[in-house]
Amino acid sequence: MSRIKLGATLYCYTSEYATGKFTFEDCVRTAAEAGAEGYEIVATQMIPSYPFVSDEFLGLVNDCKAKYGIAPASYGANNDRGMLPDRDLTEEEMLQRAIIDIQSAHKLGCHLLRAQYLLSPAALEKLAPYAEMYDVKCGIEIHNPEYPTSPVMKEYLAAIKRSGSKYIGFVPDFGCFATKPNKPQWDQALAAGAREEMLELAKQMRTDSVPLQEAQQRMLEKGANDAEMMAFSGMYGFVQFSTHPDLEGLKEILPYSIYCHGKFHYLYENNREASIPYEEILPILKDGGFDSFIMSEFEGHGYADAVLMTKRHQKMMRELLHQEA
């Protein structure tokens, strides 16, 4: 039986935190007020001593738990292969840093960890014994433009199956199931001088899977301006969409998914996402017996009110899952 838990990544409040409007405690309090049952820490963003966790920061986390009733459930690690100025990190060095991330997650009481796909399938497989030792499940994020059955994710799935471990898996990001262009970026492009017909052209070419170079040439031949090309780049970049999202692939990898990122960019007043089909995604999780967190993850910074949007997102998921607040 499914027991889906609803949380929020503190990344939702990036703009507020980065500008000093919110402290760490404000972020935790606001997540609790939105209805989150737990939260994710994006480690490089909010842990001053990253990749390690100081006793001082742990004390702050525990104080917030006592005040607001929610604790960190997942740890957003950063797999930075290019952190050195003269060379990339080796696979062994990436593995060692991932082990430190697991130790830090354990210290905070997180049993879930989001890794990124700069950590190779082989390194993920080697990480399994350490994840088991510290009781921290580690998942590779499936993030747009990847999708559950893309070639690289099939390599990760093979490694997960080879390991035989329940402590390594995936963190599907719902942004890879988008079926429409990103509404905030579309609206911003219009405000910056983009023409509706040029945005529609870009949308149609992305829908028809026109190759990037060919589509770019057609945009330029039509006299696309800077705002239109910026929106076009987004549609062919990290805000891709498809009229046939890989929902069957989601069913396939769901048994190996340790938690999910509930990506959202904009929710209407009726608490429905503008471009991501939650009405189709959440029943797959519920019917598939998914028993972990969906972390609300707002990526509309600078376009919409993060506090309001996160509240709407939590309400939407509860409505679609028929859960009580």
> What is the reported pLDDT for 2?
63
The answer to whether the beta carbons of residues 174 and 290 sit under 8 Å apart is: no
Q: Is the pLDDT of residue 135 over 60?
A: yes
Question: Within 10 A of 282 (CB to CB), how many other CB atoms are there?
Answer: 22
pTM: 0.94
Q: Residue-wise over 90-110: b if at least 16 C-beta within 10 A, else e?
A: eeeebbebbbebbbbbbbbeb
Handedness of CA 155, 172, 94, 167 (dihedral sign): negative
pLDDT band, residue 1 (cuts 50/70/90): very low
Q: What is the mean pLDDT of residues 256-266?
A: 98
Question: Tokens 């599907």 belong to which residue?
Answer: 172
How confident is the model at residue 136, as a pLDDT? 98
262 pLDDT above the threshold of 80: yes
Show the tokens assigned to 43. Answer: 């480690």
**Average pLDDT of the residues in 130-152:** 97
Q: What is the pLDDT of residues 281-298, one digit of tens each?
A: 999 999 999 999 999 999
Query: Which burial class, exposed, middle or buried, applies to 125 when counting CB atoms under 10 A from its CB (0-12, 13-18, 19+)?
Result: buried
Q: CB neighbours of 227 closer than 8 A, spacing ≥ 6?
A: 189, 192, 193, 194
Does the structure show a pLDDT above 90 at 72? yes
